[in-house]
Amino acid sequence: MVGYSREVARRVFAQEFRESNLTFKDGDDQYAPQYLMTPTGAKVNRVFIVGTLIEKEDIGTDSEYWRGRVTDPTGSFLIYAGQYQPEAAQILAECETPAFVAVVGKPSTYTTGEGDVLTSVRPESFHIVDGQTRDLWVLETAECTIERIKALEDGTSPNIQKAKEYYDPDIKHYSSIVLDALKSLKETF
């Protein structure tokens, strides 16, 4: 296929992901991909997360519908997998908690009656990994986030403009999230 390129899986910490609530499409086409813009200007159509699965629950009524909570040093991601994510749902159903997991998925948002926007992840793949991979992810996500924060300060790309106008992000807030995450790698248990 000409002109098609796979969406990059962005690296975003849980706290930043939770604080995101701007979704949009490029263009009016019904098949245009949906994006979630995060406060530091990551344009997310796919995320890659490695964290600890700490809770899981089957919240489905008729068929299985699994909800998992995956934490990173800054907070947690909610993962929902149902019949249309059979591979992920199966692994979620079978695995023990806590466990280190790697999730590739699409961001999705839900607006509550009060108008709050909740973000979650619909997994394309869900696999058990190890602690080293999780640490590597924290490092990589910190690096990506630092890059975005820097671009936020002096960049002028449309994404950055959009994020700035909508969120008016507090740069100190996000740099301290990154710093805390990195420092958590220094702690030995």
Partner 1 sequence: MKELAQEISARFNELGVEIPIGEIEERLDKMINKFKVPKEEARRSVVNYFLKSYNINRNEFYTGQSDSPVENISGATEDGKWLGVRGKVIQLWDNSHESISQVGLIGDETGTIKFTVWESANAPLVEENKSYLFKNVVVNEWNGKFQLNVNKTSSIESIDDDIEVGNATVGFSGAMVDIQSGSGLIKRCPECNRALTKGACMEHGKVDGVYDLRIKAVMDDGVSVQDAILKRDQVEDITGMTLESAIALAADALDQGVVLEQMKGSLVGRYYRIKGVRIDRYLLVESIESVFSYEQSELDELIAEAEVI
Residue 156 C-beta-side C-alpha neighbours within 13 Å: 0
Which one of residues 83, 111, 132, 161 is an interface residue with partner 1 (CB under 8 A)? 132
Q: How far apart are CA 160 and CA 37, in angstroms?
A: 10
User: Could you please report the per-residue DSSP string of 143-182?
Assistant: HHHHHHHHHHHH---HHHHHHHHHH---HHHHHHHHHHHH
Options 20-28, 60-68, 128-136, 161-169: segment touching partner 1 (CB under 8 A): 128-136
Sign of the C-alpha dihedral, residues 71, 139, 156, 104? negative
Q: How far apart are CA 59 and CA 157, in angstroms?
A: 41
Q: Which CB, 55 or 140, lies closer to partner 1?
A: 140
Options 53-61, 75-83, 159-167, 176-184: segment touching partner 1 (CB under 8 A): 176-184
- Give strand ranges (E) for 30-116: 34-37, 43-44, 46-58, 66-72, 75-81, 99-111
Which one of residues 137, 163, 167, 169 is an interface residue with partner 1 (CB under 8 A)? 137
Provide the pairing of β-strand 43-44 with 22-25.
Answer: unpaired
Q: Which CB, 22 or 144, lies closer to partner 1?
A: 144
Residue 149 sits in the site that holds partner 1 (CB under 8 A) = yes
Q: Which CB, 59 or 170, lies closer to partner 1?
A: 170
Q: Which CB, 6 or 63, lies closer to partner 1?
A: 6
Residue 97 sits in the site that holds partner 1 (CB under 8 A) = no
State the residues that interact with partner 1 by CB under 8 A. Answer: 2, 5-11, 46, 48, 50, 87, 101-104, 124-125, 127-129, 132-133, 135-137, 139-144, 146, 149-150, 153, 171-172, 175, 178-179, 182-183, 185-186
